[in-house]
Structure 1
């Protein structure tokens, strides 16, 4: 189902530096929701970290749902292709590959460079991770919390928008991770469609609605 992201979640009304956590079970189109929320204005910088879908497929879906971007404005850090052998690894100016989601040190170094470069361009930045659940498979919760703390701090410092996806977190994971998050987007599947609701951020878009 096609939908207009601003009508479902008014992200353009959120304060600069806002971070969202998309939380819900599988098959509730969380990846699609993240990609659409990262669309924004064509002149904005977009940075995505993927642990489940190869960079080529992710870029293809981004462009399908949001349109293309000027050269240099759409960046992907791929943490899955090398470890799963999903396809050809070809480093470019806008696509980076890490050995696996286990390499959190390499990810931190790569993203620090990405944020410095994007910040120097003086453009608005949208940043997304799909999915934190993969990092939780490789690392303990406190390590993922520290990574999220750094990333949400960088998003706040550049006045960007952060969107982080997690699959059906435990109560403890949800409680710990949301300490660093401004709003939680919950998703669920119904007989007819997928629905979401927003918790936090003043209760905007608080009721369940289809997307």
Structure 2
């Protein structure tokens, strides 16, 4: 769970989490494949341009460049100079690998290499002068398709612990339609906040939030996400 850390709260694109979250918070974003959960998670990783922030994204299901295109389409605020990507998708198309500040990894199953690269890129971002980092994992589901639940849960536990220790932000996306509830519950246990996403028959994306194990709030529309800077937090 989140350490009681002082500091400026992380803000997000409207209308996501209008009160922001404290430094050291880990968020699990879950929803079916076509629910919009992935876009919501990408919105949560968008840096606040007026803050000294950067982002570190793990791309396990699509090539790194495609993930960045998705992120830019969600918020229209992507700054490549603030962004590092661990491309472990295993794509054979080297021309579409994202190699800025990064070294490609053979595939999502090589969690030791992913962990090593994570530490390297994180330190590069800090050495570049950024005070805090938004970490996004896209997605837990892809990691689970290449490793067992126990191995992936250890990896996620390591990342969430690091987020707490450093006062950063962790965002973890999981496709709930691909896994039994027990798998989602395992990763929820490592996080401070759960964001559940659904798409209505009319195509509206809705979210509800709450602490792990607690009753979630009422469904609230987030269609569309504001394509501008995240809400300013004082």
Q: Same fold (TM over 0.5)?
A: yes
Residue 181 (structure 1) shift: 0.6
Residues of 2 paired with 1:92 and 1:26: CA distance?
A: 27
Flag the 1:156–1:85 CA change in 2: closer, same or farther, 3 A: same
CA contact (8 A) 2:13 2:43 kept: yes
CA contact (8 A) 2:46 2:78 kept: no
The SS at the match of 1:9 is coil
More displaced, 125-134 or 51-60? 51-60
Flag the 1:62–1:174 CA change in 2: closer, same or farther, 3 A: closer
Structure 2 alignment gaps of length 5 or more: 1-11, 223-234
Q: Which residue is 1:177 aligned to? A: 187
Q: Which residue is 1:143 aligned to? A: 151
Moved over 6 A (4+): none
More displaced, 60-69 or 172-181? 60-69
Flag the 1:115–1:22 CA change in 2: closer, same or farther, 3 A: same
The SS at the match of 1:96 is coil
Q: Residue 200 in 1 paired to residue 215 in 2?
A: no
RMSD: 2.3
The SS at the match of 2:22 is coil
Whose helix proportion is higher, 1 or 2?
1
1:37-186 equivalence runs, <5 A: 37-42=44-49, 43-64=52-73, 65-69=75-79, 71=81, 73-80=82-89, 83-88=90-95, 92-120=99-127, 121-168=129-176, 169-186=179-196
Q: How many residues align?
A: 203
Q: Which residue is 1:24 aligned to? A: 31
Residue-by-residue CA offset, 1:82-113 (whole Å, 9 max, x unaligned): x3324516563424311000111100100111
Flag the 1:59–1:156 CA change in 2: closer, same or farther, 3 A: same
CA contact (8 A) 1:101 1:135 kept: yes
Residues of 1 paired with 2:126 and 2:101: CA distance?
A: 15
The two structures have a TM-score, normalised by structure 1, of: 0.86
The SS at the match of 2:67 is helix
Residue-by-residue CA offset, 1:154-175 (whole Å, 9 max, x unaligned): 1112211110001113121122
The two structures have a TM-score, normalised by structure 2, of: 0.78
The SS at the match of 2:103 is strand
Structure 1 alignment gaps of length 5 or more: none
Flag the 1:117–1:156 CA change in 2: closer, same or farther, 3 A: farther
